[in-house]
Amino acid sequence: MIRFTLIGFLVLFAACGHSGKQTSVEEWHEDSSLLSIADSSNAGITDSIAAVADTLHVDAAKLIGKWIRPVEGLDREVQGFQLRKNGTAKSINMYTLVYEKWELLGDTLLFWNHSEGVKDTATIVDTTIIRALSDTSLVLYPIHAAEGYTEHYRKQ
């Protein structure tokens, strides 16, 4: 292992054009080609609305109401949420997940919620992208879900 490391070091040294001459720190700093580091301090942060060129125009009035979907494995049971005009939200048949409020930003639907019955009851903001919306159906893509995963709701 030491032999390969030594050989690699020698090859690297030769590739860099080391002439055997010792280089001082001042000479090293004078060569600006050795110091080309990109400055990322002004890098912009793009939100989900700006990142998607074909964002869906969402009519917030269509979101008001109760939205439900079947519980996986229990087809006769439903769960979902209710969105109210005043910006508050309520869970439907999800007793540990308590929705507090909601907000629409472009095609992005934000849900403020917390969990009941667990040690950490901190408020969390779930972010979902609205993929489709009609008078009777809503398709959401939670941003932390696997690509292609969507949740389909129907208006109650």
Find, among 151, 120, 119, 118, the residue nearest to 137 by Cα: 151
Query: What are the φ and ψ backbone dihedral angles of 9, each rounded to 5 degrees?
Result: -65, -45
Indicate whether 41 belongs to any domain.
no
Pairing relationship of beta strands 108-115 and 124-133 according to DSSP bridges: antiparallel
pLDDT in tens, 4-36: 444 444 444 444 454 445 544 444 445 444 444
pLDDT value, residue 55 = 66
Domain with 95, as residue range(s), is 48-155
pLDDT at 49 over 60: no
DSSP letter, residue 116: S
CATH number, residue 123: 2.40.128.280
User: Considering its fold, how many domains does the chain have in total?
Assistant: 2
Q: At residue 45, does pLDDT exceed 70?
A: no
Q: Tens digit of pLDDT for each residue in 73-128?
A: 998 999 999 999 999 999 999 989 999 999 999 999 999 999 988 877 788 999 99
Q: Which token pair is 135?
A: 């008078």
Residue 23 sits in the same domain as residue 73: no
Q: Are residues 17 and 84 in the same domain?
A: no
State the amino acid at position 98 in one-letter form: V
Cβ contact 92:84 at 8 Å? no
Pairing of strands 124-133, 89-92: unpaired
Same domain, yes or no: 88 and 27: no
d(CA 68, CA 81): 7
Instruction: Name the band, by pLDDT with cuts 50, 70 and 90, for residue 66.
Output: very high
| 8 A C-beta contact, residue 81 and residue 89 | yes
Q: What are the tens digits of pLDDT across the range 132-150? A: 999 999 999 999 999 999 9
Q: Is residue 42 part of a domain?
A: no
Same-domain pairing of 26 and 58:
no
